[in-house]
Amino acid sequence: MPTPHIAAQPGEIAPAVLLPGDPRRAERIATQLMPDARLVSEVRGNGVWTGEVDGKPLTVMASGMGMPSLGIYANELFSHYDVRRIVRVGTAGGLSPAVSVGDVVVALGAHTDSAMNDRRIPGIRFSAVASYPLVAAAVAAAEGLGPEVPVHVAPVVSRDHFYGNPADQIRLLADYGTLAVEMEAAALYAIAAEHGRQALAVCTISDHLLDSTGDFSAAEREQNFQRALTLGLAAAHSPSE
């Protein structure tokens, strides 16, 4: 049965889902990877494409921006469509001198200023961490890209606000080894854990909080995802459960 936000029938969503934030990036990814993909939902104009890559089923759709939007889709994908793993192919802002625009960050864990994970386990500050088999698959794929492609494996921070990053907080996060800020990974990791499923976020650094001179344009945010996609697809289709 369809959900309030996804019109696909049971069986029309693959066990592996690529979930960028941007619906146009989702369409580009789906078209590039699966020219014969079927559009199985477009509730609220959010396209959902299912097809195959090298004989393996795959669904591509967008999460929208922020944890509440991602939370709706991730919950429905895991609980109604029995999705086994979700890989976010996102963008993020660099917050540390250790990353540059264009680099890729495999988000090992996600700090957050959101209250969404606070009430999950009373008395516990939840640790939002990626699924290790997916991290390992992404790292193996990164090794195949060669040393000239900067890929980092590190924590990110998932924030509720795009604007108004407090400078002191950003500096401390960088001091603690956090590389980038985005808006979805912490909720994705927690929802996957809740359902006993797998999740990973692989983000392209689209702008830098310490130096904006090389920031991507809106079009580049939509289009510059190839290396993150290579890693994300390898994770989504990695053999281990």
Ligand X SMILES: O=P(O)(O)O[C@H]1O[C@H](CO)[C@@H](O)[C@H]1O
Catalytic residue list: 207
Q: According to the binding rule CB under 6 A, does residue 71 interact with ligand X?
A: no
Binding status of residue 207 toward ligand X by CB under 6 A: no
Q: Is 33 in the site for ligand URA (CB under 6 A)?
A: no
Residue nearest to ligand X (CB): 21
Q: Which of 90, 94, 109, 155 touches ligand X (CB under 6 A)? A: 90
Amino acid at the residue 45: G
Residue 16 Cβ vs ligand X, minimum distance, rounded to whole Å: 18
| Cβ-Cβ contacts under 8 Å for 159 (sequence gap 6 or more) | 112, 113, 114, 165, 181, 182, 183
Is the distance from CB of 156 to CB of 73 less than 8 angstroms?
Answer: no
Shortest separation between residue 23's beta carbon and ligand X, angstroms: 9
Q: Which of ligand X, ligand URA, none does residue 93 bind to, with CB < 5 to 8 Å depending on kind? A: ligand URA
Question: Per-residue string for binding with ligand URA, 137-166, x by CB under 6 A?
Answer: -------------------------x----
Of 194 and 220, which CB lies nearer to ligand X in the complex structure?
Answer: 220
Angle (nearest 5°) at CA 144 between 139 and 148: 95
Which of residues 47 and 90 has its CB atom nearest to ligand X in the complex?
Answer: 90
CA atoms within a 13 Å half-sphere pointing along the CA-CB vector of 97: 2
Interface pick for ligand X out of 7, 65, 98, 154 (rule CB under 6 A): 65
Dihedral sign, CA of 235, 240, 49, 65? negative
Separation of alpha carbons 192 and 87, rounded Å:
11
Partners of residue 86 on adjacent β-strands: 17, 199
Does 184 bind ligand X (CB under 6 A)? Our answer is yes
Residue 207: name its binding partner from ligand X, ligand URA, none (Cβ under 5 to 8 Å by kind): ligand URA
* Whole-number Å distance between alpha carbons of 73 and 64: 9
φ/ψ of 59, rounded to 5, equals -115, 140
Instruction: Write out the residues near ligand X by the rule CB under 6 A.
Output: 20-22, 65, 90-91, 162, 182-184, 221
Instruction: Write out the residues near ligand URA by the rule CB under 6 A.
Output: 91-93, 162, 181-183, 206-207
